[in-house]
Structure 1
Amino acid sequence: MKNSTKGLLIGLGATVVVGTIIVSSSEKALQKIESYMNRKRAKDFIKEKLNGNDDALSVVDQLSDEEISNLLKIVDKIGNLKGKINVYGDNVKDMAEDFKHTLHGYTETVKEKFDK
């Protein structure tokens, strides 16, 4: 094999190795950044919703990255349900009010029948 071919193969191999290292290190960096952001988001949630409870904040520090991620998924789902419950809650209030008026009307009708 010619020296130029060997040099080209060595250069290509080195490029592949360096590229693999860069990609794997960037994935690790992205994971670290995502972990940091999730942990900060969990702490912000505790500060906002739990008035900065120190015990809850210390628990967040002890949780694994996967546990933090699962916790945030649960918080997001609860937030989505809360919005839906508010919509349904208004409908339930209206239906309860209608039912109350209907029941009151029936009560008045029954009283009138027994009063006669």
Structure 2
Amino acid sequence: MKNMDNSNKGIFLGIGFAVLVGVVAFVFSSDNAMEKTHSVVNRKKAKHLFKNKMHGGKKSSKVVDKLSDEEINSLMGTVSKVKDIENSLSDVSSDFKEFFNDKVKDAKKALK
């Protein structure tokens, strides 16, 4: 009976270790897969950006293909920051326009 308990412990330890290795491998591979997927998506976005927004052709697509994943991610991060600045400026100009229109209305009322 004692022999059987030791062999069962060994089996359970082996199974537990195999499960642990599987979980660790899954976590690392899923992080790696997510990072690769993110890079592929950014590369597609960069190609779209050059083709449609900058009126590029096949040469621009080839240039994007030659960039590393890190360079693509950096490029798309910069594009994102520029869009954020653009949106902020749009908000500020809209606020300024409203402020100016209010002041013109106030001035017209004061002149009446």
Q: TM-score, normalised by structure 2?
A: 0.71
Letter in 2 for 1:6: G
CA deviation string 1:45-96 (max 9, x = no partner): 112211133332221111111111110111111111122233444638x97x
Q: Which residue of 1 aligns with 2:47?
A: 43
Whole-Å separation in 2 of the counterparts to 1:66 and 1:55? 20
Amino acid at match of 1:28: N
Q: For structure 1, which runs of at least 5 residues remain unmatched after alignment?
A: 96-116
Deviation beyond 6 Å, 4+ runs, structure 1: none
Paired residues, number: 95
Aligned to 1:63: 67
Corresponding residue of 1:75: 79
1:19 to 20, 23, 47: 23
Q: 1:71 to 1:7 in 2, by over 3 A?
A: same
- In the TM superposition, what is the alpha-carbon distance from 1:29 to its structure 2 partner? 1.5
Matched, 1:52 2:56: yes
CA distance in 2, matches of 1:87, 1:21: 47
Maintained 8 Å contact 2:51/2:60: no
In 2, the alpha carbon distance for the partners of 1:41 and 1:68 equals 9
For 1:62, the aligned partner's letter is K
Name stretches of at least 5 consecutive residues in structure 2 with no aligned partner: 101-112
Q: Given residue 20 of structure 2, which amino acid in structure 1 is its aligned partner?
A: V
Matched letter for residue 15 of structure 1: V
Specify the code of the residue in structure 1 equivalent to 2:44: K
